[in-house]
Amino acid sequence: MRTAAVASLSCLLIALGYSTTAAAPTADNPWLGQRVMNMAHSGGEDEAPMNTMYAFERADTLGADMLEIDVQLTADGDLAVIHDATVDDSTDHTGRVDSFTMEQLRAMDAAHWFVPGRSTVHDDPSAQYPLRGARSGDAEVAGHEPTDFGVPSLSDVLERFPDTPVNIEIKGSGSTQSYLDTAEVLAGQLERTQREDLIVGSFEDEALELFHELAPQIDMSAGQDAMIGYYLSGTPLPEGVVALQVPITYSGITVVNRAFVDRAHRDGYAVHAWFSGSAPDDAATYEQVIGTCVDALMPSRPSVLEEVFDELRTERPTPGGTAPRQECASDEPTDPEPTDAEPTDPEPTPSVPSPTPEPSDPAPTTPGPKPTAPAPTQPAPDEDTTPVPGTDVPREPERPAIVQTDGWVSDAPAAP
């Protein structure tokens, strides 16, 4: 009901040419200088088992600027880095996350259902699982320990990546109270941190309100209700918010376009665009979204985004911050506000050329009884880069039939 109501209201306001009011600006927002970031979503769930140390190491090595992770509360009051409220989708176990201790979660095989290019796949009898058994040691992965394929804790990730910015999403098991409980524990764990490269977000506004009350020194992204209010009517965002993390499209309406990004920047907020079923997670869409002048993209295929950045020679974050690209300067004309619900894909910026799609690589093959996958390192210039069967990831492979959505993304299928 909420999805349909918001979509209808959004269409009405756009059709009427509703003029939004300015939100309260955020002074000296450091995230406005971090353009353009590759924020590997769950470590890049189409290229590696989601929310595992293996995925995070791989993304960090290939050039990702920030890691996007999810946290759920465990039975012993710790924070597990896992997307769902249950372990069913990504591990070899079943049950609610909050029914297991952190030690039990670390022992699970979080690569059990991983299929390269398709994230987690359960119902396809032809699917290949090249990293299944890596957690137990039945499959060896060069440069990695079996523990890299279990469910890590938040402290595990922050300790392993002390110099890599991390975006932490507060999750819950469905009730508002579960989100509040996660927020309280997260605030306690970050209370004494000296890190200034963290952003905490959630779809649950009350959880963010509590988190900010307990840990006001940590930057936040806007919650779902706050974001919708800002998008529709320019409602000022809560204190502590530095970024707007939004889907590419919502109920057939393009959210991420130049006009919206420019408005957010004028109001002092960075814009981070996520996909997760709201738009194709491919090179062509990445290029279009870069053209809207966003500050970051959250891809499930971070290696593909790196290729697009290289092809476009996109300026990346540097110490001290990065000024807007020339085509993103504030005096440049912006795209007009959309006048209807079409198209569902982001509008490309004219100055950005359209890419030529590359053919997909061969599908991964079934590994041997003791497979060895390559370590996630950048090859030397003269190194043989021939893909290893079972570990190569197609550039733009077929998407799964069912796309898991989250938060305020509608139930409609992603655009083809």
d(CA 373, CA 25): 48
d(CA 166, CA 296): 13
Q: Which of 61, 67, 73, 63 is nearest to 45 (CA)?
A: 67
Q: How many CB atoms lie within 10 A of CB 147?
A: 14
- Strand ranges, E, within 1-56: 37-41
Q: Is 212 part of the annotated catalytic residue set?
A: no
Q: Which of 299, 328, 333, 303 is nearest to 315 (CA)?
A: 328
Q: Is 272 part of the annotated catalytic residue set?
A: no
Coil, strand, or helix at residue 59? helix
Contact (CB, 8 A) for 208 and 238: yes
d(CA 389, CA 374): 10
Contact (CB, 8 A) for 139 and 133: yes
Contact (CB, 8 A) for 28 and 269: no
- Helix (H) and strand (E) counts for the chain? 10, 15
Paired tokens of 320: 């001290």
How many CA atoms does the CB half-sphere of 274 hold within 13 Å?
25
Q: Which of 20, 415, 399, 398 is nearest to 251 (CA)?
A: 415
State the catalytic residues: 41, 83
